[in-house]
Amino acid sequence: MIYNWVLYDATCPFCISGINIFKGSLDKNGCKTKPLQNKNILKILDVNDDNFPEMKVIGSDKKLYGGARAIVYLSRKIWWAKPIWAFSHLPLTLNILDYIYKSIANTWHCHGKCEIK
């Protein structure tokens, strides 16, 4: 079976709690989770530093998705999240989702712990 890989910042309590909340749904729908800091993941992504501004998803289609696009990609796989996927096809919706994702991500500064601006 080919999996989708959900990659998250393991130094971020906000990211960790999100993964913990959705892990059951992700597992049931062919998604595995790994920290972005994993050495194999760093090699696959060809990254040398530990600055991860957004979550990543390596899809079963072998494409890399990040941020809001990663959430939209995953929402297609989970039955109760399909409305997000459908909604994302309306004009400007992906831009709005990007804005929301970046606003949330910019609110949290994760360097071993998260602080709200």
DSSP state of 53: -
pTM: 0.82
pLDDT value of position 112: 45
CA dist 104 → 3, 15, 68, 112, 115 (Å): 27, 11, 11, 17, 12
Nearest Cα neighbor of 29 from 82, 67, 69 is 82
* Token duo for residue 16: 């960790």
Percent of the chain with pLDDT over 90: 56
pLDDT in tens, 69-79: 999 999 999 99
**DSSP secondary structure of 1-63:** -PPEEEEE-TT-HHHHHHHHHHHHHHHHTTEEEEETT-HHHHHHHT--S----S-EEE-TTS-
User: What confidence score (pLDDT) does residue 50 get?
Assistant: 66
Q: Is the pLDDT higher at 116 or at 27? A: 27
Q: What is the pLDDT of residues 5-61, one digit of tens each?
A: 999 988 888 889 999 999 999 999 999 999 988 888 888 888 776 667 788 999 999
